[in-house]
Chain A
Amino acid sequence: MVWGVLQFPGSCDERDALRACSLLGEARLVWHEERDLGGIDAVVVPGGFSYGDYLRAGAIARFSPAMEAVAEFAAAGGSVLGICNGFQVLCEAGLLPGALLLNETRRFTCRQLELLTPRGGLSIPGKHGEGRYYAPEELLDELEARGQVAYRYAPGENPNGSARDIAGVRNEAGNVLGLMPHPEHAVDPLTGSTDGLKVFEDLAR
């Protein structure tokens, strides 16, 4: 499995994502100005503050040449994982439904989170200031009905006020996945849990 991890000016967790992907296959960084995704089986759009989060988080990164290539890649069925800022970029790009807004508490928060998935619970850290998932009610109902809610914060764990405790969603076709928590920071027993590996495996599925 060959993973490509995008890198924008201001990305923070791209090397962490690269390290995590290297545990599951080959991995390389893709500079934001590159369009060449040749040989890549799955793309990771990493966490951080691309372009300083200026205007809106992810608003500028979505227009990069690399993201244009990712949009084509996704349209052709390629696997794409957006983590935190990456989730924001994918929503801005229209590759995932909804938007991420300022945390209800107006504060950045970094803590270990218990997540619920259709296949069981996961313990993965989250660290963000704009992670509150939003979509209009009718759209939320559709997402639920179509099984597009991939991760939810366990009761009492919602750190940002996300609608319906949503932590991550898939697109309708299922090949694009986005979540606010950071699976790449849950792959090494020395630094925390290893549940993050399951998220990368979820994408490869």
Chain B
Amino acid sequence: MVRARVLIRPKEGILDPQGKAVERALPALGFEGVGHVRVGRMVELEAEDPARLGELCEKLLANPLIEDYEIERLDGGA
């Protein structure tokens, strides 16, 4: 059993209105000099077969046309 965290974010070059909205709100809250905000999704799971994680991401968790993803192992594995 492995524990993993998948980070999914919009591909570079795709308009991310959520990211833009967050970026625009920051100066009014006193945070200057923050840019390039991208808003994505995070999925945590336990899986019996780590070899299939990539396939799981490609098929369901992310839409490869519009999103990039990154798999983080939470239990020190590779």
Contacts and interface: CB of A to CB of B under 8 A. Distances in A.
Nearest to B67: A56
Contacts, number: 33
A105 B17 contact: yes
Given A106-B21, A134-B66, A101 B61 contact: no
Interface string A111-133: 00000000000000000000010
A106 B17 contact: yes
A134 B66 CA distance: 8
B60 interface: yes
> At the interface, is chain A mostly helix, strand, loop or mixed?
loop
Contact of A59 (B17, B21, B60): B60
B63 A102 contact: no
A55 B60 contact: yes
B5 to A, nearest CB: 15
Nearest to B39: A102
B60 to A, nearest CB: 6
Nearest to B59: A63
Interface of A: 55-56, 59-60, 63, 92, 98-99, 101-106, 132, 134-136, 161
5 closest Cβ pairs, A-B complex: A99-B66, A106-B17, A99-B65, A104-B17, A102-B17
Interface of B: 14-15, 17-18, 21, 41, 60-61, 63, 65-66
Given A98-B65, A103-B17, 6 more contacts: A55-B41, A63-B60, A92-B63, A99-B66, A101-B14, A106-B21
29 contacts: A55-B41, A55-B60, A56-B63, A59-B63, A60-B60, A63-B60, A92-B63, A98-B65, A99-B63, A99-B65, A99-B66, A101-B14, A101-B15, A102-B17, A102-B18, A103-B17, A104-B15, A104-B17, A106-B17, A106-B18, A106-B21, A132-B15, A134-B14, A134-B65, A134-B66, A135-B65, A136-B65, A161-B15, A161-B17
